[in-house]
Amino acid sequence: MTIRVLVGIDGLVQRAEIAESSGFDVLDDAAIETVRRRWRFVPARHGGTAIESWVLVPIRFALKEAHEANASR
């Protein structure tokens, strides 16, 4: 999946939207929520001044079998 993110001059996510879905709403929603609440970026610069900019962020999920996840605990 790919998320399109508007990064503000402070490096915070101003907006995030699905550019390419994973095919599963629950994964898309979790990715968007995580990017909005937890991610920080280094803002783009133009002439030394921080500017807002859009960036495409690919997200890859690795799902494990239930017994594998429990065995690693």
Range of the structural domain that residue 16 is part of:
2-71
What pLDDT score does 66 carry? 74
Residue type at position 40 = R
Evaluate whether 50 touches 44 at the Cβ level (below 8 Å): yes
pLDDT tier, 53 (very low <50, low <70, confident <90, very high otherwise): very high
The structure's pTM equals 0.80
DSSP string, 1-62: -EEEEEE-TTSBEEEEEEEE--S-HHHHHHHHHHHHHH-B-PPEEETTEEE-EEEEEE----
pLDDT tops 90 at residue 1: yes
For the segment 10-24, what is each residue's pLDDT rounded down to a tens digit?
999 999 999 999 999
pLDDT tops 70 at residue 8: yes
Query: For the chain, how many structural domains are there in total?
Result: 1
pLDDT tops 60 at residue 73: no
